[in-house]
Amino acid sequence: MKIKIATVCFMVGILLIPRIGYATDSKMDYPDPTTIVKDSDITNKIKNRLNADRHLGKFKSIKVDTDNNGVVWLSGTAHLISEEEKAIGIARATEGVVIVKSNIKIKSGHPINE
């Protein structure tokens, strides 16, 4: 009799393990798909505006990343400080952008003569 009770308890326990695991996994905080689309939309808008603005220089070497809080990260290289400032201005003027952080390096093509 004790063996039957132990076997039943064992089987019930085995059947409940996947349920417990699923309940734990469902509490994970997954990003909302609309947030991901919004972030990539902001990134694409900024990239399109940078590519459309050619008279101040080429922005092909500037990388744009957006996080889920509307923070835009600009990185890469620019030839002039005015190019960096223009890229930052374009990013700030884009709808949905909260903060713009720049890691753009100014790449001088002319060596400094001593």
* Per-residue pLDDT tens listing for the chain (114 residues): 778 888 887 777 777 666 655 554 445 555 666 655 677 889 899 988 888 876 545 677 889 999 888 899 999 988 888 888 999 999 999 998 999 999 999 887 654 443
| β-pair partners for 7 | none
How much is the pLDDT for 51?
83
Q: Give the Cβ contact number of residue 24 at 10 Å.
A: 9
pTM of the complete model: 0.62
Which residues are within 8 A (CB) of 24 and not within 5 positions of it... i.e. 6 or more apart?
A: none
What is 33-106's CATH number, 3.30.160.270, 3.30.1340.30, 3.40.190.10, 1.20.120.80?
3.30.1340.30
Q: What are the boundaries of each domain within the chain?
A: 33-106
Please report how the helices 81-92 and 33-52 are oriented relative to each other, as an axis angle in degrees rounded to 10.
140
